[in-house]
Amino acid sequence: MSTSPSSSRALVLGSTSRYRRELLQRLGLPFDVLGPGVDETPLAGETPEALARRLALAKARAVARQRPAAVVIGSDQVADLNGEPLGKPGTHERAVEQLRRMRGQTVVFQTALSVVCHESGFEASELAPVRVRFRDLDDAEIERYLRAEKPYDCAGSAKSEGLGIALLERIDSDDPTALIGLPLIRTCRLLRAAGLRLP
């Protein structure tokens, strides 16, 4: 659906991620932040891409119900290791396990974005997949990285905007901030489509 252009709508980021908040600040738009409170448990047989898409839209819709006149951004990222979803590790032990499994592998970080405005009826979603080739890491490298960075709130334990870049051989993406958690090129496109004027 489309909406007539209007710059008067409030913008809301439906996320508790500090990384997404910091990225959205780059656009110079005022915005509020609301936690969406969405259960992120994968459904049986759900692919990483489908999971990321479903959660991004669920987050945007959940916050849009609370702020129906606002333009709401929802986003989610799932690390896709040969079709298996890898989420946020949460603990050091799970992060070690994830990085051991990803070493020498190509992992697709499925970053989904949804923008919703209940009042105008606008709803649109996009996917920004990022292919990441990990170096053949040894256990000592993994341990040093985790102790230094503590990326336990990052999908797949890989925090590329910090020391995690040293774990990688290659990143292939058409939207450079997608790997950090919010694809800003696509975000700008959907915000314009929703009627917001960007600087």
The single residue listed with the structure tokens 């000592």 is: 140
Contact 184, 194 (CB under 8 A): no
Residue ranges with strand state E in 5-140: 11-13, 32-33, 71-81, 84-86, 106-117, 122-134
Contact 173, 128 (CB under 8 A): yes
Annotated catalytic, 138? Answer: no
Catalytic residue, from 32, 76, 139, 153: name it.
76
Say which amino acid occupies 163: L
Q: Which of 177, 187, 199, 181 lies closest to 73 in space, CA to CA? A: 187
Task: For residue 43, give both structure tokens.
Answer: 């459904």
Q: In whole angstroms, how large is the CA radius of gyration of the chain?
A: 17
Active site residues: 76
